[in-house]
Structure 1
Amino acid sequence: MRTSDFDYNLPPELIAQEPAAQRDGCRLLVMNRTTGALEDRIFRDIADYLRPGDLLVANETRVMPARLLGTKRGTGGAAEVFLLREMPAHEAKTDKSALWEVLVRPGKRLKPGTGAVVDFSDANGNVALSAEIVDWVENAEKGERLARLTTSLPSLDEALHAVGHAPLPPYIKNYAGDEELYQTVYSRRESSAAAPTAGLHFTPELIERLREQGVRWETVELEVGLDTFRIVDEDDPEQHTIHTERYTVPERTVSAIAETHECGGRVIAVGTTSVRSLESAWDAEAGTVTPREREATSLYLLPGSEFHVVDALVTNFHVPRSTLMMLVSAFSTRENIMAAYAHAIEERYRLLSFGDAMFIA
């Protein structure tokens, strides 16, 4: 097995640069997990493939306004700070101040120990938030730093929403539309640097229609990191170290999974992040899924991996040579997935985060 086995020619013109006009009006490529047989449908037609007693499990995380564009204090030079994760509780944390792990640009001018501060202004031109670069992150691979965020507003949350932007993937250029379209309609707590994009196709009306059809709906939470877009550089994918993310599988979802399997229904993951959450929560010794609360997972699913919980998968089309290509290949077969992608490209599907969807069952 080589990383090149999960490569394909991605036509740039097929990378969707904006969402579909209607969330559930995008295209849906239905693939038989075993045979690889394909059908071309519309996303809302997924109802035709779900049965009473099936369970959909979606990642309800919400994308943070993590991209901050500002100016370096003292010089006025343009600077960018990208929020990765808030550090665990520390003495300096208040409603108006907290320590975050961040990426910065330009890196050479925003080094710890130099007194570097970046100011961010609201729509009225008033400085609403500042980030002081205070330290390096230990064992950082990409120049991550620690920044102390402070605000003059009543809370950091208010400040972030006054100056921050949803961080779109790097392959989406110049999107100036409604950032809410990069959020799922069921998203809740802001904790991710990227959207769980398979869920973008669901509407409240479609979810309600599926419930009336006898399909259950439950959620997990996985805090999606930037590394979800990372391409595997190693020739041998087993030498790649996958990123670590925090996830939650609540008791109600655990119970729903058990009831679904007892009644012969299918557990259908909405997105690869839901797959990683559910399979990470599998307790091999107990032979069941167990509740988890913001635990860390670095689960890496490659061809040959076993799936103990998930029976079917709703997913988008993924970047070549990514761990996500490997995950969907593990769920079916590499040959089936590559044939499906070739078909999607030939039929001019819209690809990646704002693009069309697959249902693998």
Structure 2
Amino acid sequence: MSSKLSDYDYPLPEALIAKRPLPRRDASRMMVLHRDSQTIEHRQFRDLKTFLRPGDLLVLNNTRVLAARRFSDDHGIEFLFLEKLGPARWKCLVKPGRKMRLSATAKIDNVPMHVEEILPDGERIVALAEDVDLYAHGSMPLPPYIGRESDPADDERYQTVFAQTPGALAAPTAGLHFTTEILSEIPHVFVTLHVGPGTFRPVHSETLAEHPMHAESFSISKEAAAKIDNAQRIVAVGT
């Protein structure tokens, strides 16, 4: 497997990037690689069960995406609130960074804030004048390649149907196509992995080995671990 980033370049016409999901989650197209014949088949996601074996166990990520995207009251600064550190103190990403240098101020919901600290990776620690829930009126942090602003429909469709534990900054996208009907037919367990801010950061290094990966928090229950240990084949539904 190559570690050279350029080996993974391929042409992707912008017109082929969907701006909205299909009305039915399981109507999405699914590409199937038949390893024995090295052929590719195009199916719909609702056909997933056809390609599973008896004894297979699906492992899914039940993280829930936070409504972490906010704008300053003057709409001049975009914030992605990563974590609440304590009363009225938050860690966040900002854009543009030049507007939120050390001690710089802004307002959200008419609540003043200022930059206490700038971390080495560019994240900001901000202190607010009041202890407010910044997620209460936030929006979904859609990936940049979607190319549109989020709207109320994304509050549902940018979550999996099994999203449960709040903490992610992006959806575990491989899970977005599942429906409750599909899950009812396939043995599965849940783990929790909160997708972090690194998913929004570009890779600047020439090789994958040189890219500094961010850390993400996860949890696996004893019950889920036991089922995974006893499964004949584990089918991981990636993030």
Q: TM-score, normalised by structure 1?
A: 0.60
What is the match of residue 65 of structure 1? 67
Spell out the pairing of 1:53-202 with structure 2 (5 A cutoff): 53-71=55-73, 76=74, 78-87=76-85, 93=86, 97-114=87-104, 116-120=105-109, 127=110, 130=111, 132-140=113-121, 143-149=122-128, 151=130, 156=133, 160-161=135-136, 163-175=137-149, 176=151, 178-179=153-154, 180-202=156-178
Whether the 8 Å CA contact 2:77–2:95 is kept in 1: the answer is yes
Q: State whether structure 2 residue 223 is matched by structure 1 residue 269.
A: no
CA distance in 2, matches of 1:135, 1:36: 55
CA distance in 1, matches of 2:220, 2:167: 15
Of the three residues 201, 204, 212, the one matched with 1:233 is 204
Q: 1:24 to 1:149 in 2, by over 3 A?
A: farther
**How high is the sequence identity, in percent, across the aligned residues?**
37
Shift of 1:117: 3.1
Deviations 1:53-106 (A, max 9, x none): 2110111101101001232xxxx463222112233xxxxx3xxx3422111234
Whether the 8 Å CA contact 2:116–2:127 is kept in 1: the answer is no
For structure 1, the 5+ residue unaligned runs are: 88-92, 121-126, 211-215, 274-361
CA distance in 1, matches of 2:119, 2:23: 44
CA distance in 2, matches of 1:229, 1:33: 32
Deviations 1:306-333 (A, max 9, x none): xxxxxxxxxxxxxxxxxxxxxxxxxxxx
Q: 1:50 to 1:77 in 2, by over 3 A?
A: closer
Spell out the pairing of 1:168-317 with structure 2 (5 A cutoff): 168-175=142-149, 176=151, 178-179=153-154, 180-210=156-186, 216-260=187-231, 265-271=232-238, 273=239
CA distance in 1, matches of 2:164, 2:29: 26
Q: 1:232 to 1:35 in 2, by over 3 A?
A: farther
SS of structure 2 residue aligned to 1:68 = strand
CA distance in 1, matches of 2:66, 2:89: 16
Spell out the pairing of 1:315-334 with structure 2 (5 A cutoff): none
Whether the 8 Å CA contact 1:26–1:42 is kept in 2: the answer is yes
CA distance in 1, matches of 2:129, 2:115: 13
For structure 2, the 5+ residue unaligned runs are: none
Shift of 1:184: 0.2
SS of structure 2 residue aligned to 1:165 = coil
CA distance in 1, matches of 2:34, 2:220: 27
Deviations 1:174-215 (A, max 9, x none): 2546011000000012101100000000011111122xxxxx
Shift of 1:240: 1.5
SS of structure 1 residue aligned to 2:218 = strand
CA distance in 1, matches of 2:75, 2:56: 54
Shift of 1:238: 1.6
Deviations 1:1-59 (A, max 9, x none): 32111111111111111111200011111113565332211101001111232110111
Q: 1:17 to 1:177 in 2, by over 3 A?
A: farther
CA distance in 1, matches of 2:166, 2:70: 16
Q: TM-score, normalised by structure 2?
A: 0.89
